A and B are shown apart, each in its own frame.
Chain A
């Protein structure tokens, strides 16, 4: 495990554990199912990898300097990651998010000194993207627009980290890899690294089955602004998963595996289990994006949205 001594919190990113889902495997006898616990990253999610990579790459080539503000559209985990690393590395962070994100979300990022700008809740994350673009066009010299949806450092983080780690952890056993599509960074980068392996590994992308869904962090591509880094031809297959299936699997992972994960992870694992039942599957690896406690609903008296 992680008996590491480090000079800065940024060194704690990556090298996440891979855990076998023995209870779930009963539904797919003969196939091993593993979950890579990205919530073990210091910011609590898979987004630590791309956020840090985007910042380090931009610092190295001069796009991010100490007089600039890092800005991006994010309602969640990427914002927590920018905020954490911004505090640790000494950069100012501004985030644009829909105004109906939970108070807890706002509080986590603000604890690190991040400033929040709100966008229209009816337009979801796409509204936040449009708003940030407008701000950057108005004052281009003031900002470093990290742009997680278009920044090649996002998939690069997974090409350099996640993909290689999986191969190191399961070796040649892996037959299938499953990851959800949000910015698509995890799926794109990890798949590219796995494709370099000597034997073929099927890479499957999970997407919400419907446009209006409750799998936060995942994108229904047909009805969304499609991320520039997304290459629809890269995955071997795109597997739709319904919101209810994802939510139910999150509950099951908590109750039977001791893994309290968010809904996007539930969707990934629901997809992984489906894949694990196929005759050609013998070892399936899926990604756990974050923990479930990030999605605890506010109490009634805390729930007040402004339009």
Chain B
């Protein structure tokens, strides 16, 4: 399953400057693994041992995955995953 991943400025050093990359996976977790394979270091920036790091927001299309099924959120062909720095701060509970 191919999805488009939007990369924020601070992580573009890992994607050779690209603001969008393609990745494979049926869930957010699988997409992150796919990103890690093609852009080593990505997973560590996005996740810690508890899941998505507190200050990173990931959107499946336009919904925050914390309000869906988090890393298990399912994706379909052509979906867009956006990684957005939590510049407005605060953990989303």
A residues apposed to B, CB below 8 Å: 75, 98, 100-102, 105, 121-127, 210-216, 220, 223, 243-244, 247, 262-263, 295-297, 300, 303, 305, 307
A247 to B87, CA, bound (A): 14
Most buried by A among B54, B84, B87: B87
For B37-52 the 0/1 string (1 means CB < 8 A from A) is 0000000011000000
Beyond known contacts A122-B7, A123-B9: 15 more, CB 8 A cutoff? A102-B88, A121-B84, A123-B8, A124-B9, A124-B87, A211-B10, A212-B11, A213-B85, A214-B55, A214-B56, A214-B85, A247-B54, A295-B90, A297-B93, A305-B84
Asked if B16 CB lies within 8 Å of chain A CBs, one says no
Please provide the 5 A-B residue pairs with the shortest distance between their CB atoms, ordered closest to farther.
Answer: A214-B55, A297-B90, A211-B10, A295-B89, A102-B88
Distance (whole angstroms) from the CB of A44 to the closest CB of chain B: 14
User: Can you name the residue of chain A whose Cβ is closest to the Cβ of B10?
Assistant: A211
Verify A102–B62 contact, CB threshold 8 A: no
On chain A, the residues within 8 Å of B13 by CB distance are: 211, 223
Verify B90–A296 contact, CB threshold 8 A: yes
Contacting A at CB under 8 A, from B3-54, are: 6-11, 13, 19, 45-46, 53-54
Verify B92–A122 contact, CB threshold 8 A: no
A47 to B12, CA, bound (A): 30
Verify A263–B89 contact, CB threshold 8 A: yes
Known A101-B87, A212-B45: A124·B92 in contact at CB below 8 Å: no
Verify B9–A305 contact, CB threshold 8 A: no
Most buried by B among A213, A215, A295: A213
Asked if B86 CB lies within 8 Å of chain A CBs, one says yes
Known A123-B8, A305-B59: A243·B88 in contact at CB below 8 Å: no
| Band of interface residues on B | 20 to 34
Known A303-B92, A307-B62: A124·B8 in contact at CB below 8 Å: yes
On chain B, the residues within 8 Å of A303 by CB distance are: 64, 67, 92
Verify A102–B8 contact, CB threshold 8 A: no
Distance (whole angstroms) from the CB of A46 to the closest CB of chain B: 16
Known A105-B88, A305-B59, A307-B62: A300·B67 in contact at CB below 8 Å: yes
A34 to B54, CA, bound (A): 28
A243 to B7, CA, bound (A): 20
Known A122-B8, A212-B11, A303-B64: A75·B87 in contact at CB below 8 Å: yes
Known A212-B11, A214-B54: A122·B87 in contact at CB below 8 Å: no
Known A75-B88, A216-B87, A216-B89: A122·B82 in contact at CB below 8 Å: yes
Distance (whole angstroms) from the CB of A131 to the closest CB of chain B: 13
Verify A214–B10 contact, CB threshold 8 A: no
Q: What are 19 A-B interface contacts by the 8 Å CB criterion? A: A100-B84, A100-B87, A102-B90, A105-B88, A121-B84, A121-B87, A122-B9, A122-B82, A123-B8, A124-B9, A126-B9, A211-B45, A213-B10, A215-B55, A244-B54, A303-B67, A303-B92, A307-B62, A307-B82
A98 to B82, CA, bound (A): 15
